[in-house]
Structure 1
Amino acid sequence: MPGTAVAAPDGDAARQLAKYQRTTKAAPGIDQEVTLPPGDPAEAERTARPTRSGRSADCPVSAHAASRFAGFDAVAEDLMDQWNIGSSTLAVSDECSTIYQRGYGLTGPFWLRNVPPPANPLQIFGTPTPANALFRVASVVKPITAAAIHDLDERGMLDKGDRAFCVPGSPANCHVTVNVPANFDTRIRDITVGQMVGHSGGFDRTVTTDYLFRAWETYQARNLSAPPTPRDFAEYMLSLGLDFAPGTDGEYSNLGYLMLGMVIEKVSGMSYRDYVYQRLLAPLGISSADVVLSRGKRLTRDPREVAYWCLDNNWGTNEPISTYPGEAGQRRCFADGGWVHESMAAHGGLSMTANALARFYARWWNFGNPRDGDEYWAFPNPDASAYSHGGSLEAVQTLAARCTNGLNVVWLTNQHAWATWQQATVEQRMCAAADDFLAQGPYYSSIWIKDSGGHVADPDTPANLYQARVDNLRGAGWRLLDVNGYRSRGATYYANTWARGDGTQWMATHGHDFAGFNTRFDQLNDDWRMTKVSGWTDAGGMPRYASVWVANPNDAAWRTHIRMTNAQYQKRVEDYDADGYRLISVDGYELGGQARIAAVWLYDPAGAGAPSNTATPYRAIHGKAIGDYQNWLANAEADGYRLTDKDIYTVGTAVRVAAIATKQPGPDTKSFSDWNFFTWDDNAKLQEDAGWRPVSISGYR
């Protein structure tokens, strides 16, 4: 019987990151054109789309449209204006690698950089800052130093309980031999490697001045003829004694991390920079050119470094006096000779790209399972769900934050004034931008069955690629099970699920307006019957429709309506049920500010005396909130019904669900309602690995 169609949307500071309220919205979909490479389409489906496993050094990098990161751009540019920042770079990473990077502002004038004067006078203040510009990263390097210690520990090359220094009377498990005066503080023997990682090695810079930033005094005290080395700083400050017994207090310590660099070099037999690069950074695909030792003098810096403004103020009693050859004893600004950056490597003396840092923080703060805070330092609180580290040197402020939503944000800046931006403000605003990024649509509703058979699925095939996808998969022997059209990001996308062909002949339609759909309906109606239907409105507000059909050689009776109001739909459900028609497909959408329903029924009459008007009992809901749907499903499953169709749609700002549950034999089912572009791949892989496959996907918002 033919169907009928009836007319009817550093100062250095490590600190605990504030616990931001995580958005209740799910994250958005991947803006990526997916084309099937040659070969088996099922295998292509598994490899063409990026994943975020975060469990191996070669995990694929996700691609997202730059427009999705506009919120980060707006925050960076606003903060630069607020705090008079001349140049900055931003990188955002997930648990795998960097997903966004960009430079802002200008690199700065040539006379503050190691570059020749520009040929174009209009570029006197530099060119636009590239995303791969180098910045002094200041204390944001400290977690890299801590990670290097953990790496040595895990490799059995040291133990965090080992004594850091070999001095008279030290136990055998000590590492770095240092010269100390005869009346040295014997508590130095007790300092462990782990205590210095945790900032509890006995150093308090508020008691004993941090001479790492007073190079001239160290230079004079040790009668040097060249800038102080890490050993010079360490031995000078150890000669002054400790400020508290190791392990009894915690005070943020640049000195402790400078000394950890010495431990790393002694144990590994490599320079600090080379060890952290080769062991920690190179395996992540980070270029050697993106990790360099900071240089104190302009003409020795990498030409990719931005300008550092020559501030000429004093820091307390610290006169910025150079120790470099040819100018030792002469006053120099902090940024160009006043400090010895070459000796700061392990506590703040690397120059890096934001991308390199973001990759490191992605894989070491969250390598598969996040490491606990106490594996790095005694604070932030090990129970915190996110961490941050800030850095501040002359004309440089930096931040790396792991937001509670799982994204890492690295922001490197230079500025005209000393340490003017507030780390807490930057964290809050950048992590809020991360929340907003994750809150973008679309979201996906899906039904999975317990069946590990071959399948292909995509939640967001762009409209311009969908026909080619259908042609490729059909040609490879796949059968379309379900298609759901929806509008997202101002365009139409199709969620589609496929199974290995089983001999069933099928046809499909997509993208038709109401008149075009009816025309196609008339062409198919005599020999085919509809099994799935989907409705949505395009960017222009025009209703569009997609459908799946199977051959109907026995003229099975069926009915469909695609523009029903809620009231019309409810009436037809009641009428068709009484006539022995079972609901097999339901889809909601918004048209003109009202909810509309598209649905398909199949004639399935019950025999005489049956308790239901259909041979296969079913239940259906529409227009329900997700919570109500979940309660409905739980009750239906308790009564022996299986979920067979579901669509989540929006009407205005309201999220609504339409669904069908059928009492018939079949595999177990699962229903998910809030996956999205950022979570789909990982979640889908978990289900696939457990022996489930999707049979229905719908996109919304």
Structure 2
Amino acid sequence: MTADRFSRRDFGRLAGFAGAAAVLPARPGTARATVRTGATLPAGDSGLWRVTGPMLRGLEDFDDTVRAFMQERSIPCGSLAVARGGRLLLARGYSWGARATRDTGPASLFRTASVSKPVTAAAVLRLIQDGRLRPSDRMTDLLKVGAPADPRLAEVTVARLLRHLGGWDREVSGDPMFNDAAIATALGRPLPIGQDDIVRYVTARPLDHAPGTAFAYSNYGYLLLGRIIEKVTGRPYAAYVRDAVLAPLGITRMRLGRTLLPAAGEVPYYSQYKGTTVMDPSGAQVAAPYGTFNQENNAFNCGWLATAVDLVRLARVYDGVTPVLSAASVAQALAVPETGAARGRYYACGWHVRRTDRGPVTWHSGSLPGTHTLLVRRFDGLTWAVMFDQRDDPSGEPYRDIDTALHDTADDMPDWPSGDVTGTRL
């Protein structure tokens, strides 16, 4: 561990047994307890650090890692689940500071942001496995999108949508899923806009790349995949996903989130920023997580609520050992795309993939105002999901650092405990 990474062992070990809960004060001393060189807790924030949920003995370093990360960024709510070889080893909820007005537990729901993409991809792959859809099927044959401005739209296939090869590039022409005001103006209609408006707007614009020639991450492409699921099945997207993907895994809590109406058990979201609402034409300034983007329009690409345990269970789909997807379907889904791999990295169907000397690592991160999430599958059978109710703060510390921190924690484990906390009430 290098000096510029989290000093996990600066903290005393937290109590860690199946079903145990720990309530600890901030580090003793002054109100500005140091958690990492160059990072301090805000003066006056003397809130308690609270941990709930089961954990097998020997995994205390994971608590320390999350504690360091949350405290140096003043994140109110977090959750972590860790599994190995299909066994759930840890399912924790973390609360920090005065803004955490209720304890976060392993059953707390968080917005998953783009970690919704492996969910949508799994549903599409199931339709392919069942013979109801083909990777080569053209989007324009499946959906009525109107007269396209670019004839190359006919080359957009299901496989290319899954791999972000459809030809839309948000770095070039912006992300239509988060450009509501401009779309409303272009279409001459008031806010809020709907998915049909987004499709109409994008179809009337040229593509940024020829389909299949360049990877460009596209939230819009996953909106189209969700609409394809509805077209092929004749059912609402969420209903099909629940029956075909979630129910066979025993996942019952996941549901689509709402912009302004929290679900029972959903955490509150925080941001230091405000912005103009896109949910009505009032021009009102609102907290960034509550109305600066339309959660309902982003249901298929960023819309699911889940617990960290739900996401770890979902990841098993891509091990090829569940009723959802066969091993053959998973191999096809994670294969190198037509654009190839750059330095051993590429985007498969709903997952980033990195080839290493020890084996592949697949992951997906998610980020929205008020949300930062990460789901990781490793070559050694480890899977973890971590979720926070904040993605920005005055410290300026990057939130992507949790990726390296958790890999370091896992790599430093001398032994992994046996056992499984799945049966523990969450």
- Shorter-chain TM range is 0.7 to 0.9
Residue 356 (structure 1) shift? 0.9
2:147: which partner in 1?
180
Q: Secondary structure at the match of 1:283?
A: helix
1:305: which partner in 2?
266
2:306: which partner in 1?
352
CA distance, structure 1, for counterparts of residue 139 and residue 129 of structure 2: 17
The aligned amino acid for 1:415 is: Q
Residue 321 (1) aligns with residue 284 (2): no
Residue 104 (structure 1) shift? 0.1
1:25-424 alignment runs, 5 A limit: 66-96=56-86, 98-105=88-95, 125-165=100-140, 174-180=141-147, 184-225=149-190, 227-287=192-252, 290-297=253-260, 300-313=261-274, 320-325=275-280, 328-365=282-319, 367=321, 371=331, 373-374=334-335, 376=349, 379-381=352-354, 385-415=360-390, 417=392, 422=398
CA contact (8 A) 1:398 1:411 kept: yes
Deviates more, 1:227-236 or 1:76-85: 227-236
Q: Secondary structure at the match of 1:103?
A: strand
Distance 1:65 1:200, change over 3 A: closer
Equivalent pairs counted in the alignment come to: 348
Out of 427, 434, 442, the position equivalent to 2:403 is 427
Larger fraction in strand: 1
Instruction: Tell me the TM-score normalized by structure 2.
Output: 0.74
CA distance, structure 2, for counterparts of residue 377 and residue 393 of structure 1: 18
1:557-596 alignment runs, 5 A limit: none
Q: Secondary structure at the match of 2:313?
A: helix
2:31: which partner in 1?
none
CA distance, structure 1, for counterparts of residue 175 and residue 163 of structure 2: 18
Q: Secondary structure at the match of 1:380?
A: strand
Report the aligned-residue RMSD: 2.9
CA contact (8 A) 1:87 1:107 kept: no
CA distance, structure 2, for counterparts of residue 97 and residue 217 of structure 1: 47
Residue 83 (structure 1) shift? 2.3
Per-residue Cα deviation, 1:249-292 (whole angstroms, up to 9, x for no partner)? 111111111111111111112222222221111111111xx212
CA contact (8 A) 2:375 2:383 kept: yes
Residue 385 (structure 1) shift? 1.1
Percent of paired sites with the same residue: 29
The aligned amino acid for 1:431 is: H
CA contact (8 A) 1:197 1:376 kept: yes
CA distance, structure 2, for counterparts of residue 435 and residue 310 of structure 1: 32
CA contact (8 A) 2:352 2:363 kept: no
CA distance, structure 1, for counterparts of residue 202 and residue 393 of structure 2: 26
Distance 1:408 1:423, change over 3 A: farther
Instruction: Tell me the TM-score normalized by structure 1.
Output: 0.46
CA distance, structure 1, for counterparts of residue 399 and residue 199 of structure 2: 29
Q: Secondary structure at the match of 2:289?
A: helix
CA contact (8 A) 2:370 2:390 kept: yes
1:600: which partner in 2?
none
Higher relative contact order (CA 8 A, sep 6+): 2
1:439: which partner in 2?
415
CA contact (8 A) 1:107 1:306 kept: no
CA distance, structure 2, for counterparts of residue 423 and residue 403 of structure 1: 20
Which protein is bigger by CA-based radius of gyration? 1
CA distance, structure 1, for counterparts of residue 321 and residue 104 of structure 2: 30
CA distance, structure 1, for counterparts of residue 228 and residue 83 of structure 2: 30
CA distance, structure 2, for counterparts of residue 265 and residue 328 of structure 1: 32
CA distance, structure 2, for counterparts of residue 86 and residue 321 of structure 1: 24
Residue 230 (structure 1) shift? 2.3
CA contact (8 A) 2:78 2:387 kept: yes
CA distance, structure 1, for counterparts of residue 55 and residue 269 of structure 2: 32
Distance 1:438 1:92, change over 3 A: farther
Deviates more, 1:95-104 or 1:189-198: 95-104
Per-residue Cα deviation, 1:197-230 (whole angstroms, up to 9, x for no partner)? 0111001111111121121222232234552222
Distance 1:405 1:306, change over 3 A: same
Per-residue Cα deviation, 1:124-157 (whole angstroms, up to 9, x for no partner)? x411111111111111111111111111100111
Gaps of 5+ in 1: 1-30, 33-63, 110-124, 166-173, 314-319, 442-676, 680-701
The aligned amino acid for 2:334 is: G
Gaps of 5+ in 2: 1-16, 19-53, 336-347, 421-426
Residue 427 (structure 1) shift? 2.2
